[in-house]
């Protein structure tokens, strides 16, 4: 999992460096697919069956721009422009083990409020990662994201959640970015591996899916940010597999 994690990291670094005005999300997709194949890995998203959509996802990346929350699809018609934010999410399978990570990248200079959205979302992920240690419970992670986001005046998306990960892309447990007493709250144990992925809205938390049945957008049209890391729970605390 460390190897698949580092591969995803390297791919996202390279894609983030490509992001600038005039680049299309299809350009990012093409570069990502080449990097994944060159590494002898398999894209984890392309062909992945998602029951809620009732079909297989057709790309190696999810590229979600501005008010798109997740599952935005790369397109040669989606030209990035100054002031946009673009979330790039990808997963790979390498030697049977999965990696999955996302970053949200500014296109040129972005507004101060969007800078704050990206900063708070990333901070909520870092704070949550610190909770991924034996003896804690799942809700320590969920509640940490929720608290940091809401205290800063933003809102947490409820319809999409993080997940266990290992020899499958999505394993138990679900990792919501909020505490919901109707979810299970297992104790965290050494050896568990979680994909923690806060999706944070500038405005209201509500989301809807576009007629393409993939792209999730904010209902109020305000922007949304997304960061994700895979974190192994070790006796020494959290080990982030998707960065060096
Ligand atoms: N955002 C999802 C995740 O990180 C992406 C996987 S769903 C797929 O788990 F359809 F894109 F494959
Ligand atoms: Co994920």
Q: How far is CA 67 from CA 132, 173, 226, in A?
A: 30, 28, 11
**Residues 5, 229: Cα–Cα separation, whole Å:** 9
Q: What confidence score (pLDDT) does residue 183 get?
A: 87
Nearest bound ligand to the CA of residue 242: 2
Q: How far is the CA of 72 from the centre of ligand 1 (A)?
A: 10
pLDDT digits (tens, 9 = 90+) for 37-93: 999 999 999 999 999 899 999 999 999 999 999 999 999 999 999 999 999 999 999
Does ligand 1 come within 6 angstroms of the Cβ of 53?
no
| Residues 168-193: b if buried by 16+ CB within 10 A, e if exposed | ebbbebbbbbbbeeebeeeebeeebb
pLDDT for the residue 44: 98
Q: Is 45 in the pocket of ligand 1 (CB under 6 A)?
A: yes
Average pLDDT over residues 104-118: 98
CB-CB neighbours of 242 under 10 Å: 24
pLDDT higher than 90, residue 123: yes
Report the domain count for the chain. Answer: 1
Using a pLDDT cut of 70, give the percent of the chain over it: 100
Mean pLDDT of 221-239: 98
What range defines the domain where residue 74 resides? Answer: 2-240
154 lines ligand 1 (CB under 6 A): no
CATH of residue 55's domain is 3.90.230.10
Q: Work out the mean pLDDT of the chain and round it to a whole number.
A: 98
Q: Read off the pLDDT of residues 142-164 as tens digits, 9 standing for 90 and up.
A: 999 999 999 999 999 999 999 99
Q: What are the percentages of helix, strand and coil residues in the chain, rounded to 5?
A: 25, 30, 45
């Amino acid at each position: 999992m460390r190897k698949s994690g580092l591969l995803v990291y390297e791919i996202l670094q390279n894609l983030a460096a490509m992001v600038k005005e005039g680049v299309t999300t299809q350009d990012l997709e093409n570069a990502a697919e080449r990097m994944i194949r060159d590494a002898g890995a398999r894209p984890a998203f392309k062909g992945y069956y998602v029951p809620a959509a009732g079909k297989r996802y057709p790309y190696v990346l999810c590229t979600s721009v501005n008010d798109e929350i997740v599952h935005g699809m790369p397109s040669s018609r989606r030209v990035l422009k100054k002031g946009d934010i673009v979330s790039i999410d990808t997963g790979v399978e390498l030697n049977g083990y999965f990696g999955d990570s996302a970053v949200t990248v500014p296109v040129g200079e972005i507004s101060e409020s969007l800078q704050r959205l990206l900063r708070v979302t990333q901070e909520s992920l870092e704070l949550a990662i610190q909770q991924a240690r034996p003896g804690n419970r799942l809700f320590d992670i969920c509640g940490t994201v929720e608290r940091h986001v809401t205290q800063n005046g933003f809102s947490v998306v409820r319809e999409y959640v993080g997940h266990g990960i290992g020899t499958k892309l999505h394993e138990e447990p679900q990792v919501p970015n909020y505490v919901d007493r109707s979810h299970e709250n297992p104790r965290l144990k050494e050896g568990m591996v979680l994909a923690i992925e806060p999706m944070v809205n500038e405005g209201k938390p509500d989301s809807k899916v576009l007629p393409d049945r993939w792209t999730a957008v904010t209902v109020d049209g305000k922007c949304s940010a997304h960061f994700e890391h895979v974190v192994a729970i070790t006796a020494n605390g959290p080990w982030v597999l998707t960065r060096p």
